[in-house]
Structure 1
Amino acid sequence: MQKLLGKFRRAVNDFKLIESGDKIAVGLSGGKDSITLLHLLSKYRIFSPEPFELIAITIDPGTGADFSPMEILCKELDVPFYLIKSDIKEIVFDIRKEKNPCALCANLRRGILNSNAKQLGCTKVALGHHKNDAVETLLMSMFYEGRISSFSPKTYLDRKDITVIRPMVYIDELDIKNNAKKSNFPIIENPCPANGYTKRQFIKDLTYSLENEIPDLKDHLLGALMNSEQLSIWDKTKY
């Protein structure tokens, strides 16, 4: 956990993710990433130079999953816990019958999470995206959309008047997996019918495969995301 906390703290400092007086809501899905994020924020608040409040919000998409382990975990960490019921599964799979459900599901979850965080007086929402997620999003954008783009470590949503932060962008997924297993985190298995059959899963598998030939692949791609001074693209307005 100390190794993860060091990279977490570096991201917080590099991107100024936490400010004094913040009230931060962790989007706690029950997966390894969000549970790790909750632990890191819970530990960091003990010695953070910027005092902040911390709560956890779990969105129940209506899949029948048991989220009681998350409530128990939050009690152990002394973090207020809020379970928000929703009909996301019914909308995505039964009403809309989406063939590629991930985008709509994510948008609905984010909307519910951000709205409830705002109602609970939060200034920020913390999401458990890590280094692999940033790289995969970059590659998906390039491969499927023809543009160079990924999510930002810090994004202000003016319509919600809330800021989204991703403090684990320097942390590798394998380190998160190993720590979660070692710490015996109460992980809730993803009951989504589309789990494991998505474009993102294809890109994830591709990056792991490419790392056999290019061991520093993720570090190089993450570096490219931050290397704005050496962005060399074909800008027709300059010719």
Structure 2
Amino acid sequence: MANQDPRKIIHEQNKLEKRLRNKVGKAIAEYNMIEEGDVVMAAISGGKDSFAMLDILLSLQKSAPVKFEVIAVNLDQKQPGFPEHILPEYFESLNIPYYIVDKDTYSIVKEKVPEGKTTCGLCSRLRRGTLYSFAESIGATKIALGHHLDDIVETLFLNMFHGAKLSAMPPKLRSDDKRNVVIRPLAFCREKDLIKFADIKKYPIIPCNLCGSQENLQRQAIKAMLLEWDKKTPGRVENIFNAMKNVSPSQLADISLFDFANLPIDRKEARKSYDFSEATVSSTNLDDSLIIDVTNIN
């Protein structure tokens, strides 16, 4: 690395930033994530993904065909040792509007979740509820979260393996009460690109230590599986994500999405010839005259 041409390094960095911008722009356009006059509340956790999302949203804001506002919001969950000064200083350095919202979810999680159990599920629900209500209070019309393509595919497998459900994180979601719309501008971005981008930008990353850096073991196992697939078969993770955009309900098994109960045969029209020869009968104990030439039905 030390012997690399600095110009080449800068060129590669610019290519990466352009690729991420293009992917975010494509996701926003494809799902109509941001519209004229929107107030986008960017939820910033202090992790690499939300920092990158904010960075790219602010960049796109300058050239987008629609006008929209971006307000950075961090939910301070009162974890012991959380460096409260980092995010306000970072937002001030960008000269952007921001809020630090205090909500002691840490105590609730510690009280409700038994020692040794994963805290991620409850923590996520408490955080989501707080952000939803705060978005209303500041007039935000969209809530932007930093989930990327890998997060979405991991969630698909988590739900299949552990919930027996074919669902994931949609790029755009209306809350159940219809009062908020969540967008995921990084939906087309790979985590490996965001890791490189964060390293280049040198964001002041704050690790999540609510549970003592406890890992969600189920998600980590799926992440390891996908990383292995990525090494052996590049493009497979992207193909899985693209499959979620290309769903054929008649090829699955959900009777609420497709009417499997009523599939009548329709042989009124003459059948088109197949590309291969018709089968011939070599042996039967039935009268050959019962066989119908389906290619000549009137």
Scaled by the length of structure 2, the TM-score of the pair is: 0.76
Larger RCO (CA within 8 A; separation ≥ 6) = 1
Which of 168, 171, 175 in structure 2 is aligned with 1:153? 171
Are 1:86 and 2:108 counterparts?
Answer: no
Tell me which structure has the larger Cα radius of gyration.
Answer: 2
Which of 57, 62, 77 in structure 2 is aligned with 1:61? 77
Q: Is the 8 A contact 1:118 1:160 kept in 2?
A: no
Please state how far the C-alpha of 1:195 moved relative to its aligned partner: 3.3
Query: Aligned equivalents of 1:194 and 1:135: distance in 2?
Result: 26
Which has the larger helix fraction? 1
Query: Aligned equivalents of 2:178 and 2:77: distance in 1?
Result: 21
Are 1:44 and 2:55 counterparts?
Answer: no
Query: Aligned equivalents of 2:30 and 2:178: distance in 1?
Result: 24
In the TM superposition, 1:100-179 aligns within 5 A as 100-157=118-175, 159=177, 161-179=179-197
Tell me the equivalent position of 1:232.
251
Which of 207, 210, 213 in structure 1 is aligned with 2:229? 210
Q: Is the 8 A contact 2:119 2:211 kept in 1?
A: no
Q: CA RMSD in A?
A: 1.7
Query: Which residue type is aligned with residue 190 of structure 2?
Result: D
State the secondary structure of the residue aligned to 1:238. Answer: coil
Further displaced range: 56-65 or 73-82:
73-82
Matched residue count: 239
Q: Is the 8 A contact 1:135 1:222 kept in 2?
A: yes
Q: Is the 8 A contact 2:78 2:102 kept in 1?
A: yes
Q: After superposition, what is the alpha-carbon deviation per residue over 1:187-216, rounded to whole angstroms, capped at 9, x for unaligned?
A: 112212263521212211221122222221
Q: After superposition, what is the alpha-carbon deviation per residue over 1:4-36, rounded to whole angstroms, capped at 9, x for unaligned?
A: 101000000111000000001011000000000
In the TM superposition, 1:192-207 aligns within 5 A as 192-193=210-211, 195-198=213-216, 199-207=218-226
Please state how far the C-alpha of 1:235 moved relative to its aligned partner: 4.2
State the secondary structure of the residue aligned to 2:66. Answer: coil
Q: What residue ranges of structure 2 are gaps of 5+ in the alignment?
A: 1-16, 262-298
Q: After superposition, what is the alpha-carbon deviation per residue over 1:43-79, rounded to whole angstroms, capped at 9, x for unaligned?
A: 1110111100110111111113113221122222232
Further displaced range: 60-69 or 20-29:
60-69
Scaled by the length of structure 1, the TM-score of the pair is: 0.94
Q: What residue ranges of structure 1 are gaps of 5+ in the alignment?
A: none
Report % sequence identity. 32
State the secondary structure of the residue aligned to 1:74. Answer: helix
